[in-house]
Structure 1
Amino acid sequence: MRPASSEKSLAPVAPDESRTLSLEQESAESEVQYVKGARLHLIVVALAIAVYLTNIEVPIVTTSLVTITNDIGGFERSSWVVSVYLLGYVGFVIIFTKLSDIFGRKLFLLFSLVIFLIFSAACGAAQTMTQLIVFRAFQGIGAGAGFGMSTAIMTEIVPPTQYATLTAIISSVYCLSHVTGPLIGGAINNSTTWRWAFLLNVPGIVPALLLIYFCIPKGFPHQRLGKDEGLAGTAAGVWKKLNRENLKRVDFTGGFLLIAATLSLVAALEEAGGRFAWRSAYVIVLLCVSSVAWAAFVAWERWVTLQGGIKEPVFPWRFFTSRKWMGVLLTATFMGGPFIGAVFQLPQKFQVIYGTSPLGASTRLLPFIGMGAIGAVITSLVAKKGVPPVYLILFSACLQIVGFVLLGTNTDASKIHASQYGFQVMAGFGAGANSALTILMAPLSVEPRDRAVAMGAVSQFRIMGGALGLSIVHTARNSFLRSKLSAFLSGGEVKQLMDSATSLAQLDPRIRTEVTGIMLEGYNIQMKIFAGLAGIQVLGAFLMWQRKQIRA
C-alpha cells in the first residue's frame, strides 16, 4: 500500500476530520523505514555528542562563574550568564522543531549546531560581562535548537517499542554532561583560563556535524518514499524548500508571541529584587507584556488550529485540550527549576560558604548529578518492563520534595556534613528520573504528527522552568541578603559583597561568621523553593493519571 504523501500528512485538518487523518498517519508511519545497523549507531553517537555538549555548558560554566567574575567583574549579574543561555532554549526550541516539520530535520539540526559552534568561540573571546552575556544568548539559541532537534529525531530513527531504551541512553548522556561538566569546569579553572569552558565546544562539535551530514539519510525520516523532506544539505535542496507555499505554512505570529511571552517573563523575574524593585516600572511593564503575550499566544494558536488553513500552528490547540499532555508539560516545566537550579546553586554555595575550590565544589556535587544519571537510566528501564511511567513520575517528585527540604535544613557554615550528600542523592535521583520520564512520555501522549513539536516543547518548557527557577531563587536570595546584611554592613559593603563573593574573606572576622550564616540561610531558602517546585510535579502526575495508564 502506498503511504500517505507529505502533502496529505501536512494538510489542514478540520475538527471532524482529525480521526480520519490520524488513521492515515498511523498507516504512513507503519511503512516508515527506520534506520538500522552501523548507520543507526553512528547517528546515536552524533545525537549523544550534541546532547552532551549543549548541556555541559550549564554545569561547566556555573562552576566557573566565580573565576569569570573575578576576571571581568559583574558578580551581581553572574546569574545572567546561565539564565541568558537558558533563554535561548526557552525562545526557540519549539520554533525550530516546528520549522523542521516544514523544511527538514537534517537541515535545522546542522544549522542549530553551527550557530552553537560559532558563538561558543565568541564566548571564549569575550572581554566584558556584557559581551559574554550577549554571546551566550546566541549560543543558547543554537544549543536549545540542537538539543530539541536531537530529541525529535530520536523518535524517528527507531520504532515506539524502542523509545524507552533510547530515552535511557540520551537521558544518561544528558545527566553525564552534568556529572562531568563541574569536574571539567573545576579542572579548567585550576589549570588554565576559564575561556576553555567555551572553546572546548569548537573541536567537540565538529565530529557530530560530520556524522549528521553523512549518516542521516537524504529525505529523513521519509527516505523510503524518495521525498525531499529531510533535504540533502545542498544549496539546491534548501532553495527548493524556501518557496512561497512553504513560507505560508510558517506560523510567524505564533512564534513571535511565544518568544515575547517567555523572554519578557524571565527577564522580569531575573531583575526583580536585584537591579530593580518588584514595584518598579521595568518589572511591572515586562510582567504585563508577558501576560498579554501569553494570552494572545493561546488565543492565536486556537484560532489557527480551528481555522484549518494552510498555516501550521507552533503549538496546536489540541495540546491545550489534552489533560495528559498538559500534565507532561507541567511536570517538565517544574522539574527544570529544581534540577538546573541545584546544579547552579550548590557549587556556588560550596565555594562561597565553605571556601572550596571550583574543582572541590564540582566533586561535592557528584552525589546529586551522579544519582540523577542513575535515576534516569533505572526508571526508563523499569518503564520498559511495563510499569506505567506516571507511577514513577509521582514517586520521583515526592523523592525530590523530601530531598530538597532536607537540603534546606543545613545550619552549620563551618563544614559540610555527610548527611548533606545523602540528601543530594535523594533529590538528584528524583530530578534525573523525571527528566527522562517526561521525555519518554512526550511522544506517547500525542498523535504521531505532533511528536517532533511535543519533544521540542518538553525540552523548551523544561529549560524555561530552569530559567524561571533560577530567577525566582536568585531574586529570593538577593532580597533576603539585602534585608539581613544591612544590619551588619554599610550600603557599600553590601554592594561589594553582592558583586564579588571574594569580598566575604575581607570582612572583619568579628562579623564574618554571622554574615556567612546569613548567606547560608539564603541558600537554604533556595532549596525550600526547589521543594515547592517539585511539589507542582505531583499535580502534573495526577493530570496524566488515567483509568488505563500509558505504558512504554
Structure 2
Amino acid sequence: MTDSTPTPSSLVIEGASEDVEKTPHPVQDNTRSPSDTEETALRVTDGTVYLKGLQLHSVTVAVALAIFLTNLEIPIVTTALISITNDLQGFNNVNWIITSYLLGYVGVVILWAKFSDHFGRKLSILASLAIFTVFSAACGGSQTMTQLIVFRAFQGLGGGGNFALGTIFLVELVPPEKYPLYTTIMSVILSMSLLLGPILGGVISEHSTWRWIFFLNIPAGSLAIVLAFLFIPLNFPYQGQPAYENRRWRTLFSKAEFKNIDFLGAGLLLIATLFLVSAIQEGGVDYAWKSGFEISFLIIAGIGWISFLLWERKITLFSKTTEPVFPWRLIKSRVWMGMIGNAFFLGGPWFVTVFQLPQRFQVVNDVSPLQAGIRLVPFTLACPLGSIISAVAAGKYKVPPIYMVIFASVMQIIGFSLISTLPTTAHTRAAEYGYQIIAGFGVGINISLLIMMTPFCVEARDKSVALGSVTQFRIMGGLIGLAVVSAVSRNTVSSDLKRFLTEDQIKLILQSTGSINLFTPSLQQEIRNVFANGYNLQFKILLGFSAAQIPSSLLMWQKKQILL
C-alpha cells in the first residue's frame, strides 16, 4: 500500500529525487470553518479528511500521553539512578539502565513508522502502548540489575513506537498549515515531561520506592490505549477516502500485505544499529577496544550498515512489490542527509545533558535526587521554550528554519563551553543555571525545527519513514554520544582515583557513589573533584557534537529556503 496523497512542499528540493511531486503549498483558508455540530470531519481539496470535534481531541490526548510517557522515562529515571543502583548494587552498570531502554528504542523507530504504513497507524500505536505499559510494570517489579536492564530494553521497544507514531500522528491529524500549532503542542508536551521528570524522580526516590517511577506508567498508559482504541479510525489517516473504506482488521494481515514488507531490510537495520551502539557502549568498560568482542561487534555493525544500504538501493530501484524500509531516494537528497546529520549530532548534547547533569549534582555537589532534579529545570525548561519560540517564528513570522537551525548550533557551542568550566567544588554558582539555559535553548530549537521541516522535504509516501528517521538518528546520536563521553570520563576517573585510593575502594565507589560519604571529609572532597573533572570533560566532548551540526546544516542550504 502506497501513500498517494500529495506532498505539502511547494519547493523542489535540491538533490532530491526527480520524481518528487510538485504541488502548491496549501494556502490558509480564512473562510468560516464548519462547527463541530455541523460535521465531524473536515474535507479539504486534495481528498484528505481530517478529524474534528471530540474525536480529534480524544486522539490528540492519546497521542500526547504516548509522547509524554515515553519522554518522561528519560529524565524521571536519571534523577533516580543513584537510588536504583544503591538498592540493586550496580553503579558500574548505571548507564545500562538508560542504554538498554534506548537500545530497544533506537533499533525500532524507523521500523515502527514503516510497519504502520502496512498494518495501519491504529494497530501500531495500540501495540506500542501495550508493550510500553506491560514492561513498565515489569521494570517496577525487577529484583536484580539484570532483570531491570532486560525489561528496560523491552520497554524501550514500546517507547520507540510511541514516539515515532506519536510524531506521525501529530502531522497527520491536521492540515499542513497547522503544523506549527501542533509542533508547539508537542513542544509543550516535551516541556512538561522534561520539567516534571527530574522533580518526580527526585520526589519518588526520597519519599517512596523508585519502583513507582515505572508503576506510574500503568494507569496513564492504559488510558491512552482506551482512547486510541475507541477514537482512532481503523483506516487512519485515510478515513473518508473510497480506496480505504473497505479496510478491515483481517485485511491488515493479508498475504499481499506481507509481500510488500521489507523484512530483510528491517532485520539488517536492527542488527546494524544494535551491534554498533553495543560495541561503543562496552568499549573500554567491560571489554578492551582491541578485544575480540569489540572487534567482532564493530565488524558485524559495519557489514550490517553496508548491506542495509545496498539492499535498500536494490529494493528502491528494482522491486515492484516490496516497499523499502529506508528508500534510497532519501539518501540521494543532499538536503535530507543534512537533516539526518543534524539530528544525529543533536542527540549527544541533548541526552548527555539530561542524563549526566543530575548525576553530577548528586555526586559532586552531594545533593538529594529531588534537589538534582530541580537544578536541572533551567535546561529542561529552556529546551521546550526554544522549540515553541522557533515554531512560532517559522510558522507565524515565516522565518526560514535554516537560519534558526544554524543559530541554535552556535548557542549550543557557547552553552556547553560554559558548562564545561563548572567548578570542581561542591559550591554552586548562580551562573551555572544561565549556562544551562543557553545550551537548552539551542538544543530545543533544533528538536522542533527538524520535525517541522520533514514533511516539506520529502515525498508524501516517505513522510512516516522520514519522521521516524529523524527520531531514530537523533536517539542513535544520543546513545553514541552518551557511550563516548561515559567511556572517556570513566577511564579518566578510574585513573585519577588510583592516585590516592586502593582498587577495592575504587570498586566500592563505582558500585555505589553513596559510599563516598564513608571516607574522611578531605578524601571525600578529593574524590568529588575527580568526578567533577570527569563530568567537565564530558561537556567538552559535546562541543564537537554541537559544532558538527553546522556543516550538516549547510548541506540543507538552498537558493530558495524552505518556508513553513
TM-score, structure 1 normalization: 0.93
Aligned-pair CA distance for 1:207: 1.9
**1: CA distance between counterparts of 2:245 and 2:312?**
25
CA shift in 2, pair 1:545/1:20, >3 Å? closer
Residues 365-401 of structure 1 show CA distances to partners (whole Å, capped at 9, x for unaligned) of: 0000111111110011101120011111110111011
Q: Give 2:316's aligned residue.
A: 305
Q: Secondary structure at the match of 1:354?
A: coil
**Deviation string, structure 1 residues 430-467 (Cα, Å, up to 9, x no partner):** 11111111111111111111111111111111111111
Q: Is the 8 A contact 1:89 1:464 kept in 2?
A: no
Could you tell me which residue of structure 2 aligns to residue 188 of structure 1? Answer: 204
The 1:151–1:420 alpha-carbon spacing in structure 2 relative to 1, beyond 3 Å, is: same
8 Å Cα contact 2:3-2:461 kept in structure 1: no
Paired residues of 1:91 and 1:259 also in contact (CA < 8 A) = yes
Shift of 1:418: 0.7
> Is residue 323 of structure 1 aligned with residue 322 of structure 2?
no
Partner SS, residue 51 of structure 2: coil
Question: Shift of residue 308 of structure 1?
Answer: 3.3
**In the alignment, is residue 416 of structure 1 matched against residue 416 of structure 2?**
no
In the other structure, the counterpart of 2:9 is none
How far did residue 7 of structure 1 move?
6.3
Does residue 96 in structure 1 map to residue 96 in structure 2?
no
Q: What is aligned with 1:63?
A: 79
Which shows bigger deviation, 210-219 or 83-92?
210-219
Q: Is structure 2 residue 357 aligned with structure 1 residue 346?
A: yes
Q: Identify which of 257, 270, 281 aligns with 2:281.
A: 270
- Once the two structures are superposed, what CA deviation does each residue of 1:157-182 show, in whole Å capped at 9, x if it has no partner? 11111111111111221232111001
Deviations 1:513-543 (A, max 9, x none): 2222111000001111122111111122111
The residue type paired with residue 399 of structure 1 is M
Q: Distance in 2 between matches of 1:325 and 1:20?
A: 15
Contact 2:20 2:459 in 1 (8 A): no
Which residue number corresponds to residue 486 of structure 2?
A: 474
2:553 to 527, 537, 541: 541
1:103–1:230 contact (8 Å) kept in structure 2: no
Paired with 1:395 and 1:253, the residues of 2 have a C-alpha distance of: 40
Change (3 A) 1:216 1:29: farther
Kindly state the Cα deviation for residue 76 of structure 1 after the two structures are TM-superposed. Answer: 0.7
Quote the Cα distance in structure 1 between the aligned partners of 2:183 and 2:246.
23
- Mapped pair 1:386 → 2:388: no
How far is the alpha carbon of 1:136 from its aligned partner?
0.3
Write the distance in 2 (CA, Å) between the matches of 1:400 and 1:176. Answer: 22
**2: distance between equivalents of 1:502 and 1:29?**
63
Letter of the structure 2 residue corresponding to residue 432 of structure 1: G
User: 1:81-480 alignment to 2 at 5 Å?
Assistant: 81-228=97-244, 237-384=248-395, 385-480=397-492
Q: Which residue of 2 aligns with 1:76?
A: 92
Contact 1:25 1:449 in 2 (8 A): no
Distance 1:442 1:41 in 2: 24
Question: Counterparts of 1:268 and 1:196 in 2: how far apart (Å)?
Answer: 32
Contact 1:273–1:475 (Cα < 8 Å) also in 2: yes
TM-score of the two chains, using structure 2 as the length reference: 0.92
The letter of the residue matching 1:453 is V
Q: What are structure 1's unaligned runs of at least 5 residues?
A: 1-5, 11-17, 232-236
Cα distance in 2 for partners of 1:50, 1:152 equals 12
Q: How far apart are residue 510 of structure 1 and its match?
A: 3.6
Q: Deviations over 1:68-100 (max 9, x none)?
A: 111111111111111111111211111111011
Q: List gaps (5 residues or longer) in structure 2.
A: 6-16, 27-43
Q: Which amino acid aligns with 1:437?
A: L
Q: After TM superposition, give the deviation of residue 293 of structure 1 in Å.
A: 0.7
Change (3 A) 1:360 1:80: same
Give the secondary-structure state (helix, strand or coil) at the position aligned to 1:458: helix
Q: Which amino acid aligns with 2:420?
A: G
For the residues of structure 1 that align with 2:54 and 2:190, how far apart are their CA atoms? Answer: 23
Residue 22 of structure 1 is matched in structure 2 by 21
Contact kept, 8 Å, 1:33 with 1:223, in 2: the verdict is yes
Corresponding position of 1:489: 501
State the distance in 2 between where 1:111 and 1:420 align: 42
Structure 1 residues 502 and 21, CA gap change in structure 2 (3 angstroms): closer
Equivalent-residue separation in structure 2 for 1:509 and 1:361 (angstroms):
21
Q: Are the aligned partners of 2:120 and 2:234 in contact in 1 as well (CA < 8 Å)?
A: no
Structure 1 residues 21, 103: closer, same or farther in 2, change over 3 A?
A: farther
Deviation of the 1:122 alpha carbon: 0.4
1:346, 1:139 → 2: CA distance?
24
Output the CA distance in 2 between the equivalents of 1:510 and 1:248: 68
C-alpha separation between the residues in 1 aligned to 2:427 and 2:398? Answer: 44
Q: Are the structure 2 counterparts of residues 20 and 423 from structure 1 closer, same or farther at C-alpha, using a change threshold of 3 Å?
A: closer
CA–CA distance in structure 2, aligned partners of residues 79 and 256 of structure 1: 26
Task: Please name the residue that 1:3 is paired with.
Answer: none
Deviation at 1:220, TM superposition (A): 1.2
2:510 to 490, 498, 501: 498
- Residues 477 and 20 from structure 1, CA distance in 2 versus in 1: closer, same or farther, beyond 3 angstroms? closer
User: Post-superposition shift, 1:355?
Assistant: 0.8
Q: Which letter maps to 1:410?
A: L
CA RMSD across the alignment: 2.0
Secondary structure of the residue aligned to 1:315 is coil
Q: Which amino acid aligns with 1:144?
A: G
Query: Matched residues in 2 for 1:60 and 1:53: separation?
Result: 10
Q: Distance in 1 between matches of 2:130 and 2:202?
A: 27
Distance 1:230 1:397, change over 3 A: farther
Instruction: Give the SS at the match of 1:34.
Output: strand
Following TM superposition, by how much is the alpha carbon of 1:344 offset from its aligned partner in structure 2, in angstroms?
Answer: 0.5
Residue 22 of structure 1 aligns to a residue whose secondary structure is coil
Compare 280-289 and 127-136 and name the one that shifted more. 280-289
- Render the CA deviation track for 1:165-213: whole Å, top value 9, x for unaligned: 1111112212321110011111101111100000000001122112212
In the aligned structure 1, how far is the partner of 2:411 from the partner of 2:470? 21
Residue type at the aligned position of 1:63: T
1:509 Cα offset (Å): 3.3
CA gap of 1:20–1:273, structure 2 versus 1, over 3 A, is closer
**2:39 is matched with which residue?**
none
- Paired residue secondary structure (2:234): coil
